[in-house]
């Protein structure tokens, strides 16, 4: 009997854990834990998982975590270390810091637990449909061993050794921030020029300026004025900051990424860190005296 545990039932984790439960063979168990225990109980009622204590999830064969930052993962490792099962795997789907991964892997290895960094991309919709992109960091053999367990993945790619998954995730989200911000600025200028924004987006999305921000995020969330809270602006700022940390760590030159990180951080302070990340464009609206609609 294989026991799988999932720690962190946020907007992404809740459906991801459901896919793990659906993929379990008869006799296997899927445990779920969340800091707010009622979420774990709700998951168990909806998907047939088992709401569990930290002591119980520590004995799982496969532990998945999906938490806001590496700091929360560090906290859980510290709380679980006396109870972890030797021979287990810890697969961290957090958008973590590349510098944290080798340290976490070493700490867990001393306890007989193997660590893989496995952040995901694809949003809440991708999590619900089981088509997330998973970027994995770790030794080739270890990554190959956990691939069959990624029931929530539509695409899974090993991008390098420990920490590489976190690194690619940070840069991916920095690109998200950059394209979102640049598209927002462009649309604000067009709005001030009297251009109809829906038509402008139609042209952009059939041209070389298109991106996920223009094709999906802005059309569905900004122009509709909905801004559904799926991925927090504060978390996007955190990821852009991680990308900037990477630039500094390797002595690189990335002034556009640095400026993007500062702009998104400022938007999080002024608009609200808990707002959806697309709400960053509200700051651009204020700067230009227009509303993107």
Q: How far apart are CA 182 and CA 180, in angstroms?
A: 6
β partners of residue 155: 133
Phi, psi (deg, nearest 5) at residue 156: -135, 125
Instruction: Name the DSSP class of 25.
Output: P
State yes or no: is 169 an active-site residue: yes
Which is nearest to 290 in space by CA: 220, 191, 183, 186? 191
Instruction: Name the DSSP class of 250.
Output: T
Which is nearest to 182 in space by CA: 199, 204, 149? 204
Which is nearest to 215 in space by CA: 183, 241, 190? 183
Which is nearest to 5 in space by CA: 77, 53, 74? 53
Which is nearest to 94 in space by CA: 139, 38, 47, 135? 135
Q: How far apart are CA 273 and CA 234, in angstroms?
A: 4
Burial class (CB in 10 A: 0-12, 13-18, 19+), 141: exposed
Which of 39, 85, 169, 238 is the catalytic position? 169
Cite the DSSP H helix spans in 24-139: 37-47, 54-57, 70-80, 100-109, 123-129
Q: How far apart are CA 22 and CA 30, in angstroms?
A: 9
Pairing of strands 132-137, 120-121: antiparallel
Q: Give the residue numbers marked as catalytic.
A: 169
């Amino acid at each position: 009997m294989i026991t799988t545990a999932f720690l962190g039932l946020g907007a992404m984790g809740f459906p991801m854990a459901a896919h793990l439960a659906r993929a379990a063979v008869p006799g296997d168990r899927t445990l779920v834990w969340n800091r707010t225990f009622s979420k774990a109980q709700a998951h168990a009622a909806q998907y047939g998982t088992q709401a569990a204590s930290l002591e119980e999830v520590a004995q799982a064969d496969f532990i998945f975590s999906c938490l806001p930052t590496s700091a929360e993962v560090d906290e859980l490792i510290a709380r679980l270390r006396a109870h972890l099962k030797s021979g287990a795997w810890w697969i961290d789907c957090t958008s973590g810091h590349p510098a944290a991964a080798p340290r976490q892997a070493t700490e867990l290895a001393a306890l007989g637990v193997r660590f893989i960094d496995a952040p995901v991309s694809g949003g809440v919709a991708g999590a619900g449909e089981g088509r997330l992109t998973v970027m994995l960091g770790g030794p080739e053999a270890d990554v190959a061993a956990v691939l069959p367990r990624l029931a929530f993945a539509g695409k899974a790619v090993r991008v390098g050794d420990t920490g590489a998954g976190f690194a690619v995730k940070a840069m991916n989200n920095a690109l998200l921030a950059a394209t979102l911000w640049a598209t927002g600025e462009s649309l604000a200028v067009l709005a001030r020029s009297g251009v109809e924004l829906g038509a402008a987006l139609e042209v952009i999305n059939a041209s070389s300026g298109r991106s996920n921000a223009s094709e999906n995020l802005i059309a569905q969330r900004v122009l509709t004025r909905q801004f559904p809270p799926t991925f927090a602006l504060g978390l996007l700022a955190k990821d852009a900051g991680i990308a900037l940390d990477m630039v500094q760590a390797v002595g690189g030159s990335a002034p556009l990424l640095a400026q993007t990180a500062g702009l998104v951080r400022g938007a999080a302070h002024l608009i609200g860190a808990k707002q959806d990340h697309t709400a960053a464009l509200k700051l651009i609206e204020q700067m230009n005296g227009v509303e993107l609609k």
